[in-house]
Amino acid sequence: MTATATRLDDFWSRCRDAVPGMPDARPEAWPFGATREHAEELLALVLAGTKTGTASSLWDYEHTGDPLPEAGELSIILDGDGAPRAVIETTDVRVIPFDEVSVEHACAEGEGDRTLEHWREVHEWYWRTYSESPRGFAPDMPVVCERFRLVWCD
């Protein structure tokens, strides 16, 4: 077993000890964002209770073949150094065109001034810069809008 897997298993064991009813199987672990700094910034918002939503490109999911998140799914959130720090549970998933994402969802993402204008600006930049799909960004692109709740943090 690798050191990373051991660290994740230890983290998951502590979570299971602290939160009754957690499943035996360790959930997928991933960081928010595409850079160390972004992962740290977004994790801090999650831990503060400010960030309760996230958005992803449906085109990226299609390109990578990764399954879409589902309500009830647990995830381990990593910090910028890849250390496990929190467990979240997805509470809602909707696919919405970029230009129809709501003010409420933008606010739930917790970034910047929490306005829809800020959300659109940073997400357009993000998908133009970091999209895994060659399709990149389009004003009507399908966006996976996910809501979640913080279950536990270490």
How far apart are the C-alpha atoms of 141 and 100, rounded to whole Å?
10
Q: Which domains does the chain have, with CATH numbers?
A: 3-153 (3.10.400.10)
Please write the tens of the pLDDT for every residue from 76-129: 999 999 999 999 999 999 999 999 999 999 999 999 999 999 999 999 999 999
DSSP state of 73: -
pLDDT score of 10 more than 90: yes
Within 10 A of 56 (CB to CB), how many other CB atoms are there?
20
Residue 1, pLDDT score: 72
Please write the tens of the pLDDT for every residue from 40-65: 999 999 999 999 999 999 999 999 99
